[in-house]
Amino acid sequence: MDNSTPCVVVFGHSFVRRLRDFLFDKHRSHDGTRKDWINLDIPRTEINIFFHGIGGLTLSAARDELASICELETKAIVLQIGENDLDSTTCHCPLALAGEVFAFARTLQKATDASCVIVCELLPHLQTRRAHYDVFLHRVNKQLKVLLAASTSLLLWPHFGLWKNWQQNFIADGIHFNLTSQGKYYRSIRGAVLRAARQLQEECGNR
């Protein structure tokens, strides 16, 4: 990875891994555009993007990945995590889960010395292991908004484009995105990365 430009890491569970695979497929398909799909069509003179996605990742397992993230010398992180924890029968309090996501974002920022962590709101599933997943989901996202409101370096990212008719977003497993919704997720994560890049530019301007 080019060390002359800042690195932004997109870190999370299988959604991140599948997004990376989606982008590599786009890159290999030579779709007739000049887009740099692997870097989210953002000039590498501005930022370099690295995807660190692990299927089934939970908050406890994510802590074991801190050393790997630190090795990347990232300046900013886009974090997508919490859905696997929420869909566990051991999760009884959505407010507590929101607090755990917030605490992990702070730990991640401190460990990596990143300028900012963009915390993506949790996303719905059609098939879940627990009852009332959607009710808990909205409570977690609402509490995350409260917890992150006062911070200038830990920022909430809402996935606006993925909520309308969200029941139509999935492949047969009811969890992962179909091709159309994967494109929407790409655009949302790209927006989050650009928000992180803007944060880095603002920080440089204030020095």
**Would residue 45 count as lying in a domain?**
yes
Residue 58 in domain: yes
1 pLDDT higher than 70: no
Give the torsion sign (CA, 166, 38, 86, 74): negative
Segments forming the whole domain that contains residue 198: 7-205
State the angle between helix axes of 94-112 and 133-148 in degrees (0 to 180), rounded to the nearest 10: 50
Over the stretch 37-77, which tens digit does the pLDDT of each residue have?
999 999 999 999 999 999 999 999 999 999 999 999 999 99
pLDDT tens profile 68-80: 999 999 999 999 9
Number of structural domains found in the chain: 1
Q: Is residue 121 part of a domain?
A: yes
Q: In CATH, what number is assigned to the domain containing residue 40?
A: 3.40.50.1110
* Nearest alpha-carbon partner for 125 in 80, 170, 85, 159: 170
pLDDT tens per residue, range 107-152: 999 999 999 999 999 999 999 988 889 999 999 999 999 999 999 9
pLDDT score at 207:
57
**Rounded alpha-carbon distances, angstroms, from residue 60 to 76, 104, 170:** 21, 9, 26
Does residue 85 sit within a domain?
Answer: yes
Tell me whether residue 177 is in a domain.
yes
**Cβ(145)–Cβ(182) below 8 Å:** no
Q: CA 64 to CA 167: how far, in whole Å?
A: 33
Residue 112's alpha-carbon distances to 11, 106, 137, 203, in angstroms, are 13, 10, 28, 17
Residue in this structure with the two tokens 């406890």, named with its chain if needed: 60
Q: Give the per-residue pLDDT at 3.
A: 56
Question: In this structure, is residue 95 part of a structural domain?
Answer: yes
* Domain assignment present for 1: no
What does the block give as tokens for 138? 């909205």
Is 2 part of any domain?
A: no
Beta-strand ranges (E) seen in 61-172 are 76-80, 116-120, 154-157
Q: In Å, how far are 46, 58, 61, 198 from 81, measured between CA atoms?
A: 26, 7, 11, 22
- Per-residue pLDDT, averaged over 172-196, amounts to 97
pLDDT score, position 56: 96
Work out the burial of residue 35: count CB atoms within 10 Å of its CB; fewer than 13 is exposed, 13-18 middle, 19 or more buried: middle
